[in-house]
Structure 1
Amino acid sequence: MEWLRTHKWLSAICGGLVCLLLLLSIVLGGDKEEKKPATASESLVFSKEETNEEHQKKEEAELPIVIDVKGSVQNPGIYTMKDGERIDDAINKAGGFTKNAEVAAVNLAQKVTDEMVVYVPSEGEKELTSIPVGGTDTEKSALININNAQSEELQKLNGVGPSKAEAIITYREENGPFKAPEDIMNVSGFGEKSFEKIKEQITV
């Protein structure tokens, strides 16, 4: 007791600290806010946005591809294809080749594109497997289509031998059809000089 009387100031300080700590705990506890979960309406909005995006992507993927199959096939005509299908699928839809079809002249692995004309030549006929939109048949047949020409025909181009012909075929198989004649400069071995030599001989 004697010690407490002589150290009243120490007791007062201890009591003050206890009160201060209690006050701080009350203040800090009151400032904490609980995170509110997303409301049902907010969840519904997010769900609708995701559904709309998925629906739009699905519609784009399901857009029909309409092509015209001509020449030496059993049932020439207009056919609706799906994205990713190839000329082989188109020939099958047309009933297959006729007996006199020049099968080797057709690139069956080429993917179909909307408004494509797939022409299957007869044996001995000039090769012309697909004709892009635009230009007359006469103009197109005078040029070599780098999107479907095979190695032998590509070697008719100025300065193109077996290795360059194979490079063209490999490029279009890996990257899809050329969109413009000058895109051939993206193929290994073809630069501006090479393009100048063949630009009047090719088409897409």
Structure 2
Amino acid sequence: MLRGPKKVVFLFVIVAVILAGCRREAQTSGLQEVSLEKEAPESGGQQEEEEAGALREGTVFVYVCGQVASPGVYELTEGARVYEALEAAGGALDGGYPESLNLAQEVQDGQKLYVPTQEEALAGGIPQEGGPGGGAQAKVNLNTAGLEELMTLTGIGQTRAEAILAYREEQGQFRAPEDIMNVDGIKEGIYEKLKDEITV
């Protein structure tokens, strides 16, 4: 058995070894915890941002309606054409007139594509909304259009638009599109340029 000073020294060595081991274990454990806390959030955050970005990019939404098999809002690949939007809606019905649309036009996000009947296309009364190239535009009715709408016609500025309104008030409604040549300042040359844009 150990006695006296030897016993004290032996106990001191044992205590020192135990304490040193505890300190090393605590340091190792602390390093592992810090490493996990730093890496996990960064990895998860980057993955979520990449997934969200993939959903936001590369697609457009187009509203296809009128004479199509399944009217509705369709998600298309960015850069898709009008004919692809019609195919997504099941194609045009027998009574539809898709030729009134520019089938090769690239669709725009939020665009409305209306497929009219042949009667609507010929009459020009097509309710179009949306981006450029969405389809045939509704003709301007000389008997109902206001000043601003008349000014959208080719060759018609504010002065001529006001003259059209004055003629309508004095002479009554236009009976035919060519009657616009009876308005002061509008002759055959202007009529030839805008005849496809007007109706009565």
**Taking structure 2 as the reference length, what is the TM-score of the superposition?**
0.38
**Taking structure 1 as the reference length, what is the TM-score of the superposition?**
0.38
